[in-house]
Amino acid sequence: MELVTIGRVVKPHGIDGTLKVLPLTDFPQHFKTLEEIFFVKGGAAKTSLERVRFHKGYVFLKTANCDGRTCAEEWTGADVAIDSKYLWPLKDGEYYHFQIEGIKVITEEGVYLGEVEEIIQTGSNDVYVVREGSRECLLPAIKDVIKKVDLDRKIMIVHILEGLID
């Protein structure tokens, strides 16, 4: 089982154990379809969801085994994760960030550039931060640059546009 983070507990909400969660997913409505989640803080603790509601960009979760504010305070700062088998399917050519982070990046000519260490969300398109030692390059996640992603082999083939790399 591979856990994928979809949110982070910000703080307790009220006195009944409800948690205020910052969604870290493009699909916050996914919370409504879930029956169970994992809190990841040190280790991973599985729990059932009783209630989910949305308000001003946050998700408010009530879980089966957290019945008071003290319990909720213990989960502050924890990641909210799900089993990757419950992820929503994406269209061809779309990937979850966790699938791209750590992938090896190679040019069409076979030159190894490094690994994707970070993804910057710019609004118009993501930018992959690729590092190899002290060398860093920023690659826009656009079709002109990203030519092939092989998730099985953890390799990305890229076309380097003029001016992208010194």
Whole-angstrom distance, CA of residue 140 vs CA of residue 103: 15
Partnered with residue 23 across adjacent β-strands are 7
Q: Is 137 strand, coil or helix?
A: strand
**At 108, phi and psi to the nearest 5?**
-60, -25
Task: Please report which confidence band the pLDDT of residue 101 belongs to, taking 50, 70 and 90 as the band edges.
Answer: very high
**Which pLDDT value is given to residue 94?**
86
21-76: per-residue pLDDT in tens? 999 988 889 899 999 999 999 889 999 999 999 999 999 999 998 899 998 999 99
Name the pTM for this structure.
Answer: 0.75
Beta carbons of 10 and 58 less than 8 angstroms apart: yes
Pairing of strands 79-83, 58-63: unpaired
Residues 119-145: tens digit of each pLDDT? 998 888 999 999 999 999 999 999 999
**What residue type is assigned to position 13 of the chain?**
H
Alpha-carbon gap, residue 100 to 110, rounded angstroms:
19
CB 147 within 8 A of CB 157: yes
pLDDT tens, 106-126? 999 999 999 999 999 888 899
The CATH number assigned to the domain with range 97-158 reads 2.30.30.240
Residue 100 reports pLDDT greater than 90? yes
Position 54 scores a pLDDT of 96
- Nearest to 7, CA basis, from 66, 62, 60, 71: 60
Using the Cα atoms of residue 14, residue 23, residue 59 and residue 50 in order, give the sign of their dihedral. Answer: negative
Q: Is the pLDDT of residue 165 over 90?
A: no
Return the CATH number of the domain spanning residue range 3-86. 2.40.30.60
Residue spans of the domains in the chain: they are 3-86, 97-158
